[in-house]
Copies of this chain bind each other. A is one copy, B any other.
């Protein structure tokens, strides 16, 4: 008998019909002899509706009270799913974050899970009950309700799978797996059977919004076997694990991220300490910097360019205005019509020809590269946004998926 954790997102539990579809998947898994723990998000727009209610009261509610409010959403969806499973004649119980003992740190609205007091969970599984758990929520050491932030339900599912030493943690979503490229852009994109956690982390960070990176990091840390699969079609998805079988395929996928902008400080003095000053200012404002490029000094001046999330560009420019004046930068420029296109794969480190092949594909398509960044398992380039889709296509074509 295996222990299987299944996670369903908000759109999968949005109404009565979908709840019964989920109940069917869950009870089939149970009937096959498995112990099943189900983690659910709030239904459809519930979270947005609750945030709107809060906004009517206050533009700046405390995170503690917002967590109390939002956690009601999963409490609603989990009890409704339990009712659907009851109705189908199966033993079931729903449990909130505090009932499951999802212990988090003391912070609110993006808390980290510290541990799971699995006593209640195991006791219900021992009674052969299907256990429905509210995702996204926990309690801190003061017995206050906390929430885990964006992608929190994925993290809840992985944490519970880790605590129970589950055999598999399935993330049900509206896509049927991880693809070598966005199938809406690349017609012949292929579904991957397997992918390593590290490769998935790079993909998650690069705009493939299937799994939140926190959940993948946790899965890697506790070696939780993860499967991303469709809640609409009953077929195998993509398995995430530490080591995947050796394949012809050197890279796992091509991604595009439009949420980026390039900011440059032009002609600043070529003296020590300037980069430190710039990036510590941005860090203080919680602005994440992605690719950084520093030109070679000339005439005692240099240029520093970096990319930030598109919606943080104005804040970043504002934050740097003072330092730009101080250092008598010639100007601050911002190019916000760019996109980042990346390839990800464990083969990149060991196969030096891959970068060249990617650049060649772009050159052949007459696409200019504005910036380059590499890691052991990814290569990213910054290009004009209006050429991003074509770039993904030509790179995908160049590699033998």
Contact = CB atoms under 8 A, between A and B. Distances in A.
Contacts of A15: 56
Interface stretch (A71-79, A168-176, A218-226, A310-318): A71-79
Count of identical protomers in the assembly:
2
A120 interface: yes
Interface residues of A, number: 39
A71 to B, nearest CB: 7
Given A65-B94, A143-B120, A58 B84 contact: yes
A84 B58 CA distance: 7
A65 B53 contact: no
A71 B65 contact: no
Given A65-B94, A98-B98, A58 B86 contact: yes
Interface string A94-128: 10101100000000000000000000100000000
A326 interface: no
Nearest to A71: B75
A21 to B, nearest CB: 12
Nearest to A81: B57
A373 interface: no
Nearest to A143: B99
A54 interface: yes
A42 to B, nearest CB: 10
B94 A79 contact: no
Contacts of A99: 143-144
Given A56-B16, A57-B16, A83 B62 contact: yes
A77 to B, nearest CB: 10
A55 to B, nearest CB: 9
Residue among A65, A80, A84, A143 facing the most chain B CB atoms (10 A cut-off): A65
A19 interface: yes
A120 B143 CA distance: 10
A61 interface: yes
Contacts of A54: 79-80, 83
A355 interface: no
A84 B144 CA distance: 19
A3 interface: no
Contacts of A98: 98
A83 B61 contact: yes
A68 interface: yes
A50 interface: yes
Contacts of A86: 58, 61-62, 65
Contacts of A73: 72
A370 interface: no
A93 interface: yes
Nearest to A88: B58
A11 to B, nearest CB: 17
B58 A69 contact: no
Given A64-B93, A93-B64, A99-B143, A57 B75 contact: no
Contacts of A57: 16, 19-20, 80, 83-84, 87
Nearest to A99: B143
Contact of A82 (B16, B65, B80): B65
Given A20-B57, A68-B75, A69-B83, 9 more contacts: A16-B56, A53-B80, A57-B83, A58-B86, A61-B87, A65-B86, A72-B72, A72-B79, A99-B144
11 contacts: A53-B80, A54-B83, A61-B83, A62-B82, A65-B94, A68-B82, A68-B96, A69-B75, A72-B72, A98-B98, A99-B143
